[in-house]
Amino acid sequence: MFNQTTLALDAALAGQGVALACRAFVAADLKAGRLVQVTNTTALIEPDYFLVRKRSSSPRKAADAAWDWCAKRLGPA
């Protein structure tokens, strides 16, 4: 088990097992034959995203504006 997709994909490419990954991450490797899809079953899973930034005590207008924009559009509906 890996906590990063790239590590899991590297292991699969090295022949060390299978990886569960987003198709966008493996499309080129599938097309080139470096990886194979092991089942015809696919699933669409809503991803979870976390909006994070460095803690700062000094105001940063541009960062705050970007944060507010993301929070407004990506927050709970």
| Rounded-to-integer distance, Cα 67 and Cα 55, Å | 12
Biggest CA–CA distance in the chain, Å, is: 52
DSSP labels for 2-44? Answer: -SSHHHHHHHHHTTS------HHHHHHHHHHTSS--S-S----
The chain-wide mean pLDDT, for the chain, equals 82
Please, are residues 42 and 58 in contact by the beta-carbon 8 Å criterion?
no
Q: What is the pLDDT along the chain (77 residues), one digit of tens a residue?
A: 667 888 989 999 999 888 888 888 899 999 999 999 988 877 777 766 667 777 777 778 888 888 888 888 777 66
pTM, entire model: 0.56
Where helices occur in 33-74 by DSSP H, the ranges are: 61-74
> What's the pLDDT tens digit per position in 46-66?
766 667 777 777 778 888 888
